[in-house]
Structure 1
């Protein structure tokens, strides 16, 4: 690779710049520096269906870092066969000055019945629903803002066909955000957009597995991941876990002693994990745990699919129902530093595909997420997207770009994340206080979650249930009885058995999953009180 030029261009706007000495030698910039350090942009990349490469939006210099390993030995026949959409390749010529396109089937924007799109959003630092109602900012996108030099993204562009990568305008912001938070430690990392993490997992499995495979995961895992994998012929192999998720020694033992005849599958080469605020258990792996897991993955050549929708829902430390509230992060740098290191940030091999999403921090219905992985894997992903999802909704991309790039910027988005960190901390504390107050501790126990939306309740005394049969080991029958009793009392929790990674394996534990994300505080407390009543009546205790 050629060395960087002695002089580079720093952006003043998206179309003009000033020359400064070698900015790529500088460290990854802070949140409020990113806009000022953007390189001068080629205006053609903002056009309709324009191809883009996230490498163009990175601000650090990665020349001294290793290249990712290649994963040809794991890429499926389907992924090898996909060569992308030939018609979309032609879109790369649309940016040529003066060209008259009689080729692509891109409808003229004059037939889009949308002249303006306006959204009302919070001002930075005034994030509550009431503040937004009273003093929110109205952002408006016009049909031809790009042609009229009012903005680099508009209705004519966003509402037309696009590339599987998503539009360059939002992809730039996503790449900068990923670099600022995770700063992947190898050269050829890239980002591309998805329509959410479940779709990302589906594509990853089709790219990297074949029917009959088994994939490692936490012993209790995201139910939709299991249901996504099974029709593709891929089964989960649950790894024993604790309050930090997967146990590295257990993972190593399973892989070291893998018996193809006994398991009915070749040795796994994939691991699916939700390492922060895990769904359903709420477990969060520490930095030390993630480094240990990564070493086991290196030892056995495991490719890691890191699904992290709850990563920014890391909360303040729990100090008890009567304990003092720790102060929030004092700065953006403190906030980022306080986050548990991601697998992506530890990945020197390019063996991690990270799935990110706006679903849990902005809105699930946006259906926009992104994937970060090595250039080889991202290219395969884009080729798949171009022939399936076609990329995320243009409506959503335009609305989110107006919010996170044009309005909030990186600093404002981090302010928002700090805000919801405190909001979820309050909700978490409410449910924990209610559990202390209302639940019979002779029957149920729990660990305070440090991230995410879920509270995992261990019915550890299930053998004390009047219908327990030691010979039949009827755990799920007892679970069904408790579940219906909770319903009768007017509350709803999810059954732990719905989250088995491998439903064919016998389990000797009984859990329920509660969430503190949906109901207001007073209803969270009342729901837990009803749960306590159900447990007492079902077990016949008066505690």
Structure 2
């Protein structure tokens, strides 16, 4: 099989627009959440056990069970035993129990009586409206005892289980069934301290020092570094405008030479399928099906890291083509009219098409609520979840009690699933406007003779290919030297972009092109446009092009 072309995510290619209708059944739409909640019973107060099975719909039990992938676990993971102290906490729920056994501090010595936070009122989601009309919600120390809430500070701020609090496990379990509806019955959720921590946990659970894991050619640098620190290297698979190329993945795995690589054939694959960091690429439905089929063929475990999943956007059409994108002309970007329409517009997840239980989905509140919450969750088969929960018990234990309590108050008691999905529609629209603003600035200020880009269909990033073959130093300097020279030229213009080389899955591999990554997530609109203008100026200076001239 001939190798696929090297990554070239540019030349005016259009981002994937293959958002096939979701398979979310009608009974699992937001209107059917009551059917889920009717089965939800919390098992106690402090350090209560909260397993996903207690919070699923009755229909879930009619599905088949998953395959057992525990044979893939490392000795470290298989060797973990349940914590005796965590197991003993189950007895605390018995009526009249006096605990003299556990090391749980008395909440009388927590120097907090209550925590109040201002959250959006109704559909007033803009920053100015939240500031002006914020609805204050309060979390008291003894709300559960007083019967005013299902969660309070006396419980949230004490020790808990490795699954996370039952209150948040219930919410993420319901959310997962509403949005993804896994195809097998024995799936489960475990709370995590964000996706980076969850991925490091997966690496330690499945890979030994000297092993490889599979990643995109350009991959999230923290994931790659997490592996290197453990002696686990990434093997990079070539990409196109939809991300990982299935034919190259198949070729690499089929022809894996254990002697030459001095390592076993890898079976763990790390993917950011939607709005990939750094390239901004999004895998369409068929691309995901093709990669999942290869995962079955080569018996892979798929890590589906999806912080940008809900930031899927409308297709971008340039204003020069007569389109109304709604960024600078005062009109709004079209948005789904209903929650069902929003859910149906999402490209199906790997979790939603997984019939084997080989997918481990990582979700996070970092990009849709706040990174500092350090709170997320993973979803996979219950046997693998149990092993990852044991890992939690002896490392991070669980996300911060403050974070879990505040998120529960916002997501469960204040918003509910429907209003949370309304919020996701809102931020999808906001990021679409930001993307459009940056793309319009690029069309105006970036010299296309030396740079190209693909409008992203999701996420927060824009990936520029800088045509190094047209650089005056081409042939005299290597790619890394030219990349650094261009990077320094951008810095001289007081603008910061990220080097493409920072994201190499295999730093020693062949990387003939120069790439730079920009984000449209943070800067104010005016600053974003000015930053792109400065980037264009830097390219003109570096490549010896005429200065930009403003036209009427």
Q: Give the drift of 1:35.
A: 3.8
* Distance of 1:494 and 1:35 partners within structure 2: 46
CA contact (8 A) 1:219 1:240 kept: yes
Q: Secondary structure at the match of 1:504?
A: coil
What CA distance in whole angstroms lies between the structure 1 residues aligned with 2:488 and 2:26? Answer: 56
3-state secondary structure, aligned to 2:145: coil
TM-score (norm 1): 0.93
* 1:218-248 superposed Cα distances (whole Å, 9 cap, x missing partner): 1000000010001111110000011111011
Q: Is the 2:35–2:57 contact (alpha carbons within 8 Å) kept by the matching residues of 1? A: no
* C-alpha distance in 2 between matches for 1:35 and 1:167: 21
Note the residue ranges of structure 2 that are not aligned, 5 or more in a row. Answer: 1-24, 326-332
Q: CA deviation at 1:29?
A: 2.7
Q: Which residue of 2 aligns with 1:286?
A: 284
The match for 1:324 is 324
1:463 aligns with 2:465: no
Alignment partners' CA distance in 2, 1:277 and 1:531: 22
Report Cα offsets for 1:128-168 as digits up to 9, x if no partner: 11111111110011111101111110010101111111111
Check the 8 A contact 2:52/2:169 in 1, yes or no.
yes
For residues 71-470 of structure 1, what are the structure 2 equivalents within 5 Å? Answer: 71-321=69-319, 322-325=322-325, 327-459=334-466, 461-469=467-475
User: Which of 524, 527, 531 is matched with 1:527 structurally?
Assistant: 531
TM-score normalised by length of structure 2:
0.91
Q: Distance in 2 between matches of 1:306 and 1:434?
A: 32
- Tell me the secondary structure at the aligned position of residue 541 of structure 1: coil
Structure 1 residues 315 and 239, CA gap change in structure 2 (3 angstroms): same
- The Cα of 1:465 is off from its aligned counterpart by 1.3
> What RMSD over aligned residues (CA atoms) do the two structures have, in Å?
1.3
- Which whole-Å CA distance do the structure 2 matches of 1:319 and 1:195 have between them? 38
> Where does structure 1 lack aligned partners over 5 or more consecutive residues?
1-25
**Residues 503 and 223 (structure 1 numbering): CA distance in 2 closer, same or farther, change over 3 Å?**
same
Q: Are positions 1:38 and 2:21 aligned together?
A: no
Displacement of 1:486 in angstroms is 0.3
* Contact in 1 for aligned 2:41/2:54 (Cα 8 Å): no
SS of alignment partner, residue 421 of structure 2: helix
Distance 2:170 2:220 in 1: 30
Give how far 1:64 is off: 3.7
CA–CA separation in structure 2 for the residues paired with 1:198 and 1:165:
17
Residue of structure 2 in register with 1:22 after alignment = none
- Tell me the SS of whatever aligns to 2:484: helix
- Per-residue deviation at 1:110? 0.8
Larger RCO, structure (CA 8 Å, separation 6 or more): 2
Contact 1:304 1:353 in 2 (8 A): yes
Offset of residue 46 of structure 1 = 4.2
Once residues 69 and 510 of structure 1 are traced to their aligned partners in structure 2, the CA distance between those partners, rounded to angstroms, is: 43
1:504 shift after superposition: 1.4
CA contact (8 A) 1:170 1:401 kept: yes
Structure 1 partner of 2:509: 505
Question: 1:234 and 1:209 mapped to 2: Cα distance?
Answer: 7
The Cα of 1:28 is off from its aligned counterpart by 4.0
The runs of at least 4 aligned residues of structure 1 exceeding 3 Å deviation read 40-43
- Residue in 2 that maps onto 1:29: 28
CA contact (8 A) 2:36 2:55 kept: no
Partners of 2:359 and 2:51 in 1: how far apart?
Answer: 19
Aligned equivalents of 1:261 and 1:383: distance in 2?
34
Aligned partner of 1:480 in structure 2 is 484
2:374 and 2:399 in contact (8 A); partners too: yes
- The size of the alignment, in residue pairs, is 514
Counterparts of 1:126 and 1:217, CA distance in 2? 40
SS for the counterpart of 2:506 is: coil
